[in-house]
Structure 1
Amino acid sequence: MKKKIVIALSSFTLLGGMAIGAGAAPILEKITANLNWGINYTISGKSWSPVDQNGKKLAAITYNNTTYLPVRSVGEALGVAVDYNGSSQTLMLGEKLDSTPITSEKIEPGHTSYITKDKQFTVQQGKDYTSGVVLKEINSANKDFTIYTEGKYQTLEVSVFPVDVKTDISVRILDGDVLLKEIIIGASDKTQTASFDIGAAKKLTVEADTLKVTGTDSSIFVTGNLN
């Protein structure tokens, strides 16, 4: 089920950790409120405290008998993507309607992977995917790359294409130590695709290795979109 809006804006309106530009000034209204350090929080029965992007503890704001919490911190705790568009002054929670190619975000290639726009890789089955990452020299040892998603996205749609595959390859997408998805692609496959929740992950690791020990390395092309 898609998570589009999970936090009620009427209850959680303090951005926290997000910069709002001067363009917001004409619609700002000055109020007198209190930082409320006396509130304790639990999420799924476990103690929790809101913090900013640097790990500094944050307080709720109490105003007119309503308590306001930092959206960024709450969103991360609940696994809900949070992003802010400064030009349109729009706060976006959960899955976005518009897709963003994975290569539009910062990617840190491993020593056997690289970002490419070369059409010999991006054109697959008559469609040009424009860009993606080639993972080569895949064998029984992990080969990987990292996508820095910065908590802005809720889902990932990924496609894996064989370039030069000798045996079945396990492609895994992880959020830290948590396995989000495993895709198996073999030499006879044309493509393998998957769409799944990434829960506002700050970075994703894509790693691959062969399921059998082989003497010959393999290569794959990975592309996809974030929502």
Structure 2
Amino acid sequence: MIRKRNLGIALAILGMTVTGAAGVYAGSNLQQIKAYLNYGLGVEVDGTLLKDSSGRKLNPITYQNVTYLPVRAVAQGLGSTVNVNPAGNTVQIKSGLTDTVPGTSPSIPATDTKVKSSYLPSDFRIPEDAKFNAFIQSTAAGKKYVIVEFTTKDSFETLYSEYKTYLTNHGFQDVIESKNADEFSFNTKNTTQSWIISGTITKKDNETLSSITINWSEQ
């Protein structure tokens, strides 16, 4: 399993692995090598096998006992973007799972289940199988805030009861609550923090999921 924090991408043959990157290397900067397309290896990001646009398994290249990965596919699987800068003769990778400035929302692949906020209270549970669609963590006027949106297989009713109990146990008294068959929401605050929690029932690939949005901030 590939982790962003320790992923090393060898740039020696990026011309082979980044679409459109051939223009980065011109004339004498190109060197012919003998490498092997390694059909014995696949590339997984957090347990998901990477495939090309035709649905075929992506295979790395092995050269002098070093394995080189298809950088665009791996980076995009990790929520990053890849651009080619011909003027600077560089391939630029911008990470996706980072703190953001107010008003921005990085794109996070639905396969990513490892996002963890350093701002949310540590006893507030995010389901283990959560797949994030949005993640914003930043500060405004010196106050921390977090906005997350994810889907989970945890049931709608279970999450409703869990979040209601959490707010009650933490002394939130003036809770604006609403609930019907397929939606719920909580809106409350005290002297130190505010919460807006909403949930809906959604379907994906014939599977029923709970879609949750958390909006938390310091007061």
Q: Shared topology, TM-score over 0.5?
A: no
Query: Which range, TM-score by smaller chain?
Result: 0.3 to 0.5
TM-score, structure 2 normalization: 0.40
Q: Which has the higher helix share?
A: 2
